């Protein structure tokens, strides 16, 4: 599936918004910021009053918009980095989700 076709999906757009919103609140340097499902899910719920399945984050990683991070922190969480925050911000602006 091409990225443009995938991003017609309004839920994926919302998930990307939630990822960038949470990522923007992290106090760490840009290259050390990560997100995980439970953190992003709360941002998504607050804005869209709904939920999404955590597989959506893996889908965004397969598209290259997120990058799976080292999971050595322990536990069952998968952590992701935003591959290109500037590009993502531009997409969100295009979709009026900024």
Domain boundaries, the chain: 3-94
Indicate whether this model's pTM tops 0.85. Answer: yes
Residues 43-74 pLDDT 10s: 999 999 999 999 999 999 998 899 998 766 66
CATH class of 3-94: mainly alpha
- The dihedral built from the CA positions of residue 69, 73, 79 and 85, taken in this order, carries a sign that is negative
Helical ranges in the chain per DSSP H: 3-6, 10-25, 37-48, 55-62, 85-94
């Amino acid at each position: 599936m091409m990225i443009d076709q995938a991003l017609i999906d309004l839920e994926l757009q919302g998930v990307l918004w939630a990822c960038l919103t949470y990522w923007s609140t992290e106090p760490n340097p840009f290259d050390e910021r990560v997100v995980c499902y439970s953190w992003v899910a709360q941002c998504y719920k607050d804005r869209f009053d709904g939920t999404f399945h955590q597989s959506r984050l893996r889908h965004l990683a397969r598209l290259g918009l997120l990058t799976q991070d080292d999971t050595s922190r322990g536990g069952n969480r998968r952590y992701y980095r935003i591959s290109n925050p500037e590009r993502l911000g531009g997409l969100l602006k295009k979709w009026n989700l900024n």
